[in-house]
Amino acid sequence: MLKKCIASITMLVMVLGVSFQTNAQDKKNYTMWETVMLTPDLAKLKVFGENMRNHNEKYHKNGPYKATVYTISTGPNSGSIIWQMGPMMFKHNDSRPKGAHDVDWRDNVLPYVKKIETVEYWTQDDDLSNTSMFTGKTMEYPILFVRIMEIEDNNQYLMKDFFKKVSATIKSLPGDNPWGLYYNEFIQGNLGRHVASVNFSKNWAEFDIEGPSFIEAYEKINGKNSFQGLIDTRDNLFKDTFDEIWEYNKELSGD
């Protein structure tokens, strides 16, 4: 009966929809992060910060359970934080910290949180992402330009070729241009949080610098006047997009 139930659930998932990630779970290894959006109680921010830091230093210092915290600096979620764990795989959830960890989170962190808004798992497209310059130190690129995209229901088939061309162009640009592409592992209903791209910056001043031309690099690879085709695909592929800036918060992280 149990096997039949599991088989039925699996078939239901196949019928109702597919994940936006590209067969990450077919690989023996993949790169994924758990993210939680928290809105702290501003009236108790000092205690929240102290307790969050102590919790992360005690339970989320290293390995797949390492916690990194970002403050959202722009958009409607400004003032909230992103608590991120990883890189990890789903199997690590079976042995994640529990017991005293859960008690500490319940008694010393949650009382100072006004709202938990999303808990998500984001898998990196290791082939298309341009993150080979990372050494593992978050402080090297502490400013994240995050673009979250909602895919049109009937146009998911356009996604692979679109991001493949974007990735090839970014990788062809001179200098270091760290960029990551991430797929939400679970359908988010009407939230529209399907796919995210991230540009990593060393400081805010980089936003004032005019970098190499993406259009010129794209047309060098794909041919003259080909960029308009990418724009047309973009308009058909995305139902909606929105941007946020995340800033690394060393004081709250497990580093």
State residue 17's pLDDT score: 46
pLDDT at 1 over 50: no
State residue 192's pLDDT score: 86
pLDDT at 179 over 80: yes
Secondary structure (DSSP) of the chain:
-HHHHHHHHHHHHHHH---SS-SGGGSS---EEEEEEEEE-GGGHHHHHHHHHHHHHHHSSSGGG-EEEEEE-SSTTTT-EEEEEEEE-GGGGGGS--THHHHHIIIIIGGGEEEEEEEEEEEE-TTT-B-TT--S-GGGS-EEEEEEEEE-TT-GGGHHHHHHHHHHHHHHSSS---EEEEEESS--GGG---EEEEEEESSGGGGGS----HHHHHHHHH-TT-HHHHHHHHHHHEEEEEEEEEEE-TTTS--
pLDDT at 152 over 50: yes
State residue 19's pLDDT score: 53
Q: Give 21's pLDDT tier (boundaries 50, 70, 90).
A: low
State residue 39's pLDDT score: 97
- Domains, the chain, ordered by start: 20-248 (3.30.70.100)
pLDDT at 14 over 60: no
The larger pLDDT score, comparing residue 62 to residue 4, is at 62
Q: What is d(CA 197, CA 246) in angstroms, rounded to the nearest whole number? A: 13
The reported pTM is 0.89
State residue 145's pLDDT score: 98
State residue 27's pLDDT score: 62
Q: What is the pLDDT of residues 71-82, one digit of tens each?
A: 999 999 999 999
